[in-house]
Amino acid sequence: MFKSLGKPDPTPEKDWFNWKWQVKNIQALSLKESSFSSGATPYYLRLIEKNACLKPIVEISKKEFNSGRQSLKDPLGEKKHSPFPRLIHRYPDRVLFLVTDQCAVYCRYCTRKRFTGKKQAFSAKKEQKKILSYIKENKGIREVILSGGDPLTLSDSILDSILRQFREIEHIEIIRIASRLPVVCPMRLTSSLCSVLKKHQPLFLMTHFNHPLELTEEAQNALSRMADSGILMFNQTVLLNQINNHPSIIQALVRRLLYLRVKPYYMFQCDPSEGTDHFRTSIENSLAIQKELWGRLSGLALPNFSLDIPGGGGKAALAPDFTVQKEKRQWHFKGWDFVEGVYKNPIKECDLEPTDESFKNYKEEWDILKNQAYGKRNTL
Ligand code: SF4
């Protein structure tokens, strides 16, 4: 099921399988100039050389220069939710730290084009200090997501020291690392990286595979190393016009990911960042894909389909609607394979809140989270 990409002849094995060599040798794929960074690792370039359908992901196209129907510099409205540069506090209980602007591939559909590969590189000590004290002060923050750029372009020792600092904060429960390195440079997932990540559990690795062809034998081995070390992995896919927008491709991707112990987590509508109109699918097309997968794939394999509301409204879940009719105390449904049924609400005493002692504790905990200020001092 997973084919080896192999190594090109003149390159010595010690280089090809060395992630630092791969990242150092990122090359652009086009003669065209773009104001946004471009390039990919030799590994990913070899993959697209063998599978031309993946080429548009990294090749600058003249379509990129059309403004299209929607073209936003900051589609997720991150700037307005940044208490200061490199920290995004969009949701009360979690923050996103843009630890580096460097990637190992510059995807033409990237939502954060305004930031990636702009030679700001690694966050300065001063910035990190500020971020750490902000997180320490805001006790409703329970989760830190390392993003960028790609955090796995950093060395093991730098990652280790950053992760340690977050782990020392008592109220931080979860750490996430979002990375495309497992796709474009699977040799990055070394045993030594696995040992570093293992020290800072609970930690989740968020991968970004878009197409089953990206699941090579090299990627399979890398993901197995991670899973065997006990690191939980979740995948986020972006639907891309003429690249992966068909149920047959998505089912092949998500079933293989699950087999490799990576939970398909999100399937995203492509964000309208600058020059991405040609990548975007219509919401109707994406929903039709989700509807066809529903019921035919197990819930474990089925990703949540979602879009980020342009301008910073956060995520909007999109799911096929199985409701046929809503009446006062009952709803009528038609399932994925057209079987119909009615759900009747209970006659009396439903929707009462629990009253036991433990509930009060959970309620207190919930109130802290709910009242946590976020972004540029928002509360709900
Ligand atoms: S941040 Fe992620 S999506 Fe954007 S260019 Fe880098 S790897 Fe690609």
Superfamily of domain 13-317: Aldolase class I (3.20.20.70)
Q: Is 94 designated active site?
A: yes
Q: To test ligand 1's pocket by mutation, which of 37, 44, 103 has the most ligand atoms within 8 angstroms of CB?
A: 103
pLDDT of residue 153: 97
**Which residue among the candidates 93, 150, 160, 271 is catalytic per the annotation?**
271
pLDDT of residue 121: 76
| Three-state SS at 232 | strand
DSSP for residue 107: -
Position in ligand 1 atom list of the atom nearest CA 103: 6
Q: What is the pLDDT along the chain (380 residues), one digit of tens a residue?
A: 899 999 999 999 999 999 999 999 999 876 677 888 999 999 999 999 999 999 999 999 999 998 889 999 999 999 999 998 899 999 999 999 999 999 999 999 999 999 999 877 777 888 899 999 999 999 999 999 999 999 999 999 999 999 999 999 999 999 999 999 999 999 999 999 999 999 999 999 999 999 999 999 999 999 999 999 999 999 999 999 999 999 999 999 999 999 999 999 999 999 999 999 999 999 999 999 999 999 999 999 999 999 999 999 999 999 999 999 999 899 999 999 999 999 999 987 888 999 999 999 999 999 988 999 998 766 55
Position in ligand 1 atom list of the atom nearest CA 37: 5
pLDDT (tens digit per residue) in 70-104: 999 999 999 999 998 899 999 999 999 999 999 99
How many CA atoms lie within 13 Å of 132's alpha carbon, on the beta-carbon side?
17
Measuring CA to CA, which residue among 299, 302, 341 is closest to residue 324?
341
- Could you tell me the distance, in angstroms and rounded to a whole number, from the CA of residue 112 to the centre of ligand 1? 7
pLDDT of residue 33: 78
Alpha helix locations (H) across 6-138?
13-16, 19-24, 42-50, 125-137
**Which residue among the candidates 101, 103, 160, 265 is catalytic per the annotation?**
103
pLDDT of residue 378: 65
Q: To test ligand 1's pocket by mutation, which of 106, 111, 179, 276 has the most ligand atoms within 8 angstroms of CB?
A: 106
Q: What is the DSSP string of 172-184?
A: --EEEEE-SHHHH
- Listed by start position, the domains of the chain span 13-317, 322-380
Position in ligand 1 atom list of the atom nearest CA 180: 7
